[in-house]
Homo-oligomer: A and B are copies of this chain.
Amino acid sequence: MRLSRRSEYGLRALTDLVRSGPGTTVPLGTLARRNNLPPKFLEQIMATLKRGGIVGTTLGARGGYAIAGDPSTISIGRVIRLLDGALAPLGCVSLRFYEPCSCPDEATCALRDVMLDVRDATLAILDDQTLTDLAAREGRAEMDPRGIHAEAIAGRRP
């Protein structure tokens, strides 16, 4: 259930770009240094983001990357799908990257049923939150801001 580094780095870089202000182009080196990300790997990622129409580039000296279009129309989900493929926990519940899974009959598969719910819960966030929203977040220091995981924090093993 983990997010790949690819997406993690990509989203960090995009956040930086959005925060740099509309139309600002930032060179790869700066992007990498400021967010301490491996430069060459980030280059790959940015290439994909470009192919996906999420960023644009300007060549040559004083060139760099900039958000293409309005960041408030680009969802986090879209970015992750572009970089990683499916978002759904199981291939058989993926809307855009469907593939059959091991159960004999999907229509009566209990596991699929739960994962459908999980998918919807995560998509409700990731397809709703845009790059603008992301960049506007200030972060929270706590591990359990809503105080709903007291047991886990206490070290109990449920």
Closest to A76 in B: B114
Let me know if A8 and B106 touch, CB within 8 A: no
B113, B123, B153: which contacts A140 (Cβ < 8 A)? Answer: B113
How many residues in A have their beta carbons less than 8 Å from beta carbons of B? 73
Asked if A49 is at the interface (CB within 8 A of a chain B CB), the reply is no
For A17, what are the chain B residues with a Cβ–Cβ distance below 8 Å? none
For A115, what are the chain B residues with a Cβ–Cβ distance below 8 Å? 3
For A65, what are the chain B residues with a Cβ–Cβ distance below 8 Å? none
User: Which of A20-28, A55-63, A125-133 has 4 or more CB atoms under 8 Å from chain B?
Assistant: A125-133
Let me know if A103 and B143 touch, CB within 8 A: no
Asked if A68 is at the interface (CB within 8 A of a chain B CB), the reply is no
